[in-house]
Amino acid sequence: MSFERPYEGIRVVDMSQGVAGPYCAMLLAQHGADVIKVEPRDGDWARSLGQEYGDHSAFSIAANLGKRSLVVDLKHKESRAVVDRLIAEADVFIEGFRPGVIDRLGYGHERLKGVNPSLIYVSVSGFGQAGPMRERPAMDPLLQAFTGFMSENTGADGIPHRTPLILFDMSTALYAQQAVAAALYARRDHDQGRKIDLSLMEAAAAVQAIRLMDGYREGPYHVASAPSGTFKTEDGWLQMIVVKNTEFEKLCNAVAWQSFLSDPRFESNLKRREHADFLIGEARKLFATGTTAHWQAVLTEAGVQNEKVQSYREYAEHPQAAAVESIAWLKQEGSDEAWPVPNMPGVPKLVQDDRHAISPTLGQHSREILLEYGYDDSTIDALVADGVIG
């Protein structure tokens, strides 16, 4: 155990797939835990989500850094003895199947309590363990629609849009990791396990708490300040935020809107919000007359908050990202080009070829793991031949 990797010595069996459960387990690995990813013979389905690079995709790399991969056919009758041996010595078990499926596979909470009474059992589902929608499959875009997010994420076309951020999978993972951390802390004094239930639906609601509460009371979103927003320039887009009266004054002086300073319609943010359509319309006409770089220079000099709307490539290669080492450039199996992998806040930076910076190929560590758990080579060979292990 160390300050940098406080979970050294913690063992995690990760049977989840996709993003939410795996990303939670990946965070535990970054904090030092030994995470064994138990995968079916055709692998975690996230490995084939989007563009494939050998055994990897951007989804599977980000969610599995620092883990070891063990391929097991969970439907094979001899697989349970193998997995139970891992679980008996584990601190944390993570699954992400629809409610009822994990019990049918034989790894429900009640049975695993008997295998390991001190096990912290994490169950990640789409809509939760109860209710009329409990058995429905749920990926991030569906939760964006269901929880209200898309209703307000509309473009100029007025159409509700999803965001490709995988926002609610990621927030579910963060809530799960936080819950596991608290459970591990509590277990120091009470050597007994517990079950942690999380769902994408609940995480999606929680991460939208302020807007959900306000939207429930006040209805559809209205601008919080004016003339804030995203504005088209001659060659791109610019984001500007103007909230305080002093900021509005700086903007007006910078862009020759001095007449607005004495206009009672704009004397406070409350009143500017009442006339937001007018102010935003004026801002649109103004910013269309120059380049993004021009208006950035004008607004920055005046002390008005603004930023160019950048692409991911522009951000990853930006001097500010380099200055704080926001991005680690890592090569992974399946591609010779380095991936721009964001360093996670609060843990050591990712370094090429360090085990924490490597996402395993399918079944890469199967033999290594089983040898550690007491199997000999001939037994492992027999398990492979019988199709139990990949």
Say how many CA atoms lie within 13 Å of 53 toward its Cβ.
17
Compute CA 112 distance to the chain's CA centroid, rounded to the nearest angstrom.
Answer: 28
Contact indicator for 169, 20 with CB cutoff of 8 Å: yes
Confidence (pLDDT) at 302: 98
For the chain, residues classed under CATH 3.40.50.10540 are 11-211+355-385
Fold of domain 11-211+355-385: Rossmann fold (3.40.50)
pTM: 0.94
User: What is the per-residue pLDDT across 309-365, written as a single tens digit (0 to 9) for each?
Assistant: 999 999 999 999 999 999 999 999 999 999 999 999 999 999 999 999 999 999 999
Q: pLDDT band at residue 158, thresholds of 50, 70 and 90?
A: confident
pLDDT tens, position by position, 175-228: 999 999 999 999 998 889 999 999 999 999 999 999 999 999 999 888 889 999
How does pLDDT run across 142-157, given as a tens digit for each residue? 999 999 999 999 877 8
Helix axes 20-30, 167-186, angle to 10 degrees: 50
pLDDT tens-digit series, residues 235-271: 999 999 999 999 999 999 999 999 999 999 999 999 9
The rounded percent of the chain whose pLDDT value lies above 90 is: 95
pLDDT of residue 2: 82
Do the beta carbons of residue 309 and residue 236 sit within 8 Å? yes
In CATH terms, the fold of domain 229-313 is: formyl-coa transferase, domain 3 (3.30.1540)
Q: How many residues make up the chain in this entry?
A: 390
pLDDT of 3 = 87
Rama region for 346: left / alpha / beta (φ>0; ψ in -120 to 50; rest): left
Which residue spans of the chain are classified as CATH 3.30.1540.10? 229-313
- Whether 161 is catalytic: no
Is pLDDT above 80 for 374? yes
123-136 residue pLDDT tens: 999 999 999 999 99
* Enclosing H/E stretch for 75: none
Q: How far apart are CA 61 and CA 46, in angstroms?
A: 9
Q: Cis omega before residue 22 (within 30°)?
A: no
- Determine which one of 222, 275, 294, 365 is catalytic: 222
Compute the distance between CA of residue 368 and CA of residue 347 in angstroms, rounded to an integer. 26
